[in-house]
Structures are given as C-alpha cells and as structure tokens.
Structure 1
Amino acid sequence: MKRYALAALVLATLSSSEAWAHTGHGTATSITSGFAHPFSGFDHVLAMAAIGLWAGSLGRRAILGLPASFLGAMALGFCAALMGSEVPMIELGITASVLGLGLAVLLNLQPSIVLAAGACGIFGIFHGYAHGTEIAPAMSAVDYGVGFLSASALLLGCGLGLQSAVRRVPAMSRIFGGGVALAGVALFFV
C-alpha cells in the first residue's frame, strides 16, 4: 500500500501544470498561489526532492542543515526580487542546481555539511528570486512567501522520505540522481 501512495504522490507532483501556479491575484489567494507555485515548475520539484534525498544520505546534521540553508536562501532571494535587486543568470542558476544536485545524488558525494549547505544556499537564492519575480502586484508578498516556502519545505520533506524509502536499495537513489542530472542537462537546451 505504501508503494502505491508513494507512486501516487510522485505522479501527482510530476503531472502538475503551470496553470496551477496562478490561482488568482487577490490577497486572499496569495498563500494558495504561493503554495502552488513550486509545484508548477519541474525544475523546482526536482531540485528540492534532490536536496532532501542528498540530505538524507549525508546523515543527521544534514537532514536539517541542507533544507534549512536552501529555505533561508530562498527567502533572501525572494526578498531581493521584491526589492528590485538584480541577480544575474537566474535560469542558468536554477538549471545548474538541477544538474549539480542530480550529480551529487548520483555520485553519492559526501562533502562536509558546511560545503553541502553552502551549495544548497547558493541554489536557493536563484530559486527564491525566481519565485519573487512571479508574484502578481496585487498579492501580499508575505502571504505568497509563506505559501511557497511551505510548499518548498514539503517538497524537501518528500525528498527525505524518498531517501528513507530507497535506503535499502542504494541503486534507486543513484537512478533518481541520474534522472535529475539528465533533466538538468536537458534544461540547458530548453
């Protein structure tokens, strides 16, 4: 039964459409729109799931450290976008995050927690900035931010859950990492 639930969750996540991210433009829908937005981009879903998977493989301190670094940096990137700051090469940074995180999982990289969290933080700035550029003018930035950070935490948790599920079969983790890395390569050409 657990396999079916996991498969349903993965299929629901992968079948998200871009229209789900734009549920309305009023303050009342800011949290909903923010929550839906991370699910609308395949690149966001893959990067966050890969961070959770990688954190789970690195162990105890990384389980909190990598997601916290990513979420904190996302919040900073989001604020930078709202303030009108320029962060260069956003799409390239997001694509590099998918490729890099996929390779980290595929190759089972085991760097120090500080280095891994730093990499996740850099990638988080790009993802957060992208979310900040998508907010509609009439929306509450705080509510939208709460929504997309909550959804991002959920996706990171799904990656951690995936690590728990594949722990007994290490090849599955590498297959997922390889798939994420290939998606990252493909994104360079899209």
Structure 2
Amino acid sequence: MNTLSRHLKIALPLALAASAAQAHPGHAAGLAGGLLHPLLGPDHLMAMVCVGIVSVQLGGASIWRVPAAFVAAMIIGGAAGFAWAGAHFAEAGIALSLVALGSAIALRKRMPHALVMACVGAFGFCHGYAHGVEIPEAASPWLYTAGFVASTCALHVAGIGLGWLGARGTTARVMLRASGVAVGVLGLVYLGGIATTAA
C-alpha cells in the first residue's frame, strides 16, 4: 500500500466522522465561556492544534513565533468582532485556515517564514473575530477574552507536543500527515457548506 493510500485510509474516516456543522453550542458567560469556546468548536480546536504542529515543522524560533502571531492577531480580531459584529468573512477564513494548515501538515512542505506568519496572523484574526462576535451580552469581555486566549495557548502547546511526537518515527509521521489530510478535507466541507448557505 503506497503512502498516499495509507494517508487516505486513515484520513477519510476521520473527516467523515467529524461534524460539518458550523454552529457552536451556547456559551457560558465570563471566564468559563471563554475557556470553553475554542474547545467546543471543532473548527477552532483543530486549527489551533494545527498551528502548534506547523510551528514544530518550521523549527527554530518559529516554535514560539508562529503561535504568538496567531494569539496576537486573535486578540485584535476578538476586539473587532466584539465592537463591530456583523461581518461574514470570519467563517470562510476559519474554514480556509483548516484547509491551509491541514495541507501544510500533510505535505510537510517548508514555506517562507514571512508567508507563514502572514497567513497565521490572518487566520488568527478570523478566529478571534468569531470569538468576539459570540461573547455573551452578560459576559465580561475581559474575562471572556482571557479565557479563550488561555485555551488557545493550551491548544498550541498540545499541537507542539503532537508535532514533536510526530517526528519520532515512521508510523507517527504517517498518522500526523493523515490527520493533516483529514483537517484539510474538513475545511473544504466547511467551505462547501458556507458556499451553499450563501447561494
């Protein structure tokens, strides 16, 4: 069985098993809601873990610079979403983040650092915007923001750990690349759902 077939055999069931629903469940107010939001939204969770994995693939200072760029842009996007809710670009940006990050993991292709930072920043802004739009009216914006920033950092660390483990053997590398394929496919499913809704 060639490598691509092995990847697809692992990835396709994962993609099919994942929910393609874009809506997130209701959120609690304050810090708890912020902590839970990235964990209860599979699109957010997967993208943030993938950022950590990609940072390990790039190596060197990218291991902290790439996640830091995502978090910084996410905070800015959260403020924008809280202040100017109503734009509809964020969901498409989140879906594109899954396609791009999943593809980067699957292909293990090194890209220019500046390009990665720009893309990760744009994706972070979109994820942050979605967080900001969904801040409950009764929540403290500061506590909610602190919560989703803390969860995001934890997910990045988890991704860094997975990226490190994924470099430790052939089977682990295949599994990690298959996961990248699954994330990319799910991103395309999300994009298809967005396009269908907009039509």
TM score, norm. by length of structure 2: 0.80
**Equivalences for residues 18-167 of structure 1 within 5 A:** 18-19=24-25, 22-23=27-28, 25=29, 30-84=30-84, 87-167=87-167
Amino acid of the structure 2 residue aligned with 1:60: G
Q: Does 1:189 find its partner at 2:183?
A: no
Q: Which residue matches 1:171? A: 174
Structure 1: 5+ residue stretches without partners: 1-13
* Distance of 1:187 and 1:85 partners within structure 2: 21
Distance 1:96 1:18, change over 3 A: closer
Contact 2:100-2:184 within 8 A present in 1 as well: yes
Pairwise CA RMSD of aligned residues? 1.9
Matches of 2:175 and 2:85, distance apart in 1: 40
- TM-score, length basis structure 1: 0.83
Q: CA deviation at 1:189?
A: 2.9
Task: Please tell me whether the aligned partners of residues 51 and 67 of structure 2 are also in contact (alpha carbons under 8 angstroms).
Answer: yes
Instruction: Give the C-alpha shift of residue 138 in structure 1.
Output: 1.6
Instruction: Report deviation, 1:111.
Output: 1.4
Which has the larger displacement, 87-96 or 130-139?
87-96
- Amino acid aligned to 1:22: H
C-alpha spacing 1:180/1:70, structure 2 compared with 1 (3 Å): same
Offset of residue 88 of structure 1: 4.5
Contact 2:85 2:133 in 1 (8 A): no
Identity of aligned residues (%): 33
Q: Summarize the Cα distance change of 1:72–1:87 in structure 2 as closer, same or farther, 3 Å threshold.
A: farther
* Deviation beyond 6 Å, 4+ runs, structure 1: none
In the comparison of the two structures, how many residue pairs are matched?
170
Q: What is the distance in 2 between the residues matched to 1:172 and 1:117?
A: 25
In structure 2, runs of 5+ residues without a counterpart are: 1-17, 194-199
Do the aligned residues in 2 keep the contact of 1:61 with 1:113 (CA within 8 Å)? no
Change (3 A) 1:42 1:111: same
